[in-house]
Every structure is written in structure tokens, then in C-alpha cells.
Structure 1
Amino acid sequence: MSYVLQIDFKFKGPFGEAMSMEFEKMAESINLEKGFIKKVWTESEARTEAGGHYHFENEEDAENYLKMHLERLRGFGIEESNVKIFKVNEKLSLINKGLS
């Protein structure tokens, strides 16, 4: 059974292409995290929010990544984040192309 970690937080930018350039190395490093499967990056310049949905092989790896990432966010001056971890219903997700 896999798990999704959902994180979002207030973010002043950069957004769009500037965000892509700024965080490319971080994106590459996320691929090396234990149990990591994939991430969808999210952003809303209109609401000044950003975050992502991370897919992990198990809950323990999702929790460990979360601890590390919250520390990293604090280093960027982001003190508050909305965080949830969900178990993935793989059968239904396969029907809707949510797993690859």
C-alpha cells in the first residue's frame, strides 16, 4: 500500500518559470529520498500558496520525508504548513490513471 503526503503553505514566490529555475536542484534531490515515487508540484500566485503532493512507497518514508521537509521550509522562513498523509486506494486510483 502506498501513501500520499500533501503539503501546502503560504508562499510569496517565485512562481511559474522562475520557480522552476529556483527549485530545480531541490526537485532533483527529492528523487533520491527513500521510498519516493513521484511528486506533483502545486502553486497559486493569486492565493500566494505553493506545495505539492508526494507519493511514497510506505507511511514511514512519507513521515521521515515530512520531518526533513518541514525543517527545510523553516529554513526558508515558512513556519506554518498544512500537512496530511493519506493511504492510497490503489484499485480505484488505477481506474482513474492515478498510478503509473
Structure 2
Amino acid sequence: MFTSLPGEVGNPEPEARETTSACLPLSGREKEVLALVAAGQSNKSIALRLALSPHTVKRHVTNLFNKLDLARRSQATAWYYLNPETSGCCQRPH
């Protein structure tokens, strides 16, 4: 059975989600972690670079995913580069 796509006749556009980042701004540490995630770093390498435990990094990643309504690191990377003014960390880490 064929189903219509969003926006086609008989299937209205899905509701637009409001950006949650305006309501739940990222902390300074979450911004640092986001920049390193966007640079392709693993949680372990982020932990070493920021002198944190890997568990703490995992928690920061989970928090920023929740705040930005994301599910994958690739989505976080795209969000980072599409929203440099919002992320507060528009320079790629060295």
C-alpha cells in the first residue's frame, strides 16, 4: 500500500518543532564538548583533552543531545556548523 509523503494531499505537513536551544541554552562545557564532537573526536579523546572522565563527557553529550533534540553525533556536527551564532563556539578546535 502506498502512503503519501508529508505535504502531499491527504497528509498535512508535520508540526514544526520549536528550537529548544533558546529555552535550554548550552553550558560553556557543553559548547566545548559540542565543538569537539563536531571535530570528530571520540568521548575518550574529548575526556583526555578536557581533563574529564569519559563518563562526564558522555553525560555532557547526552545533555546537549537532549537540549538540541538530536539523536546522533552526525546531527550534532551538522547543527554545530549550521548554527555557529547559537552554539557560541564557531571556531573549529585545533
TM-score by length of 1: 0.29
Which structure is richer in relative contact order (CA contacts within 8 A, separation 6 or more)? Answer: 1
Q: Identify, as 1 or 2, the structure richer in helix.
A: 2
Larger Rg: 2
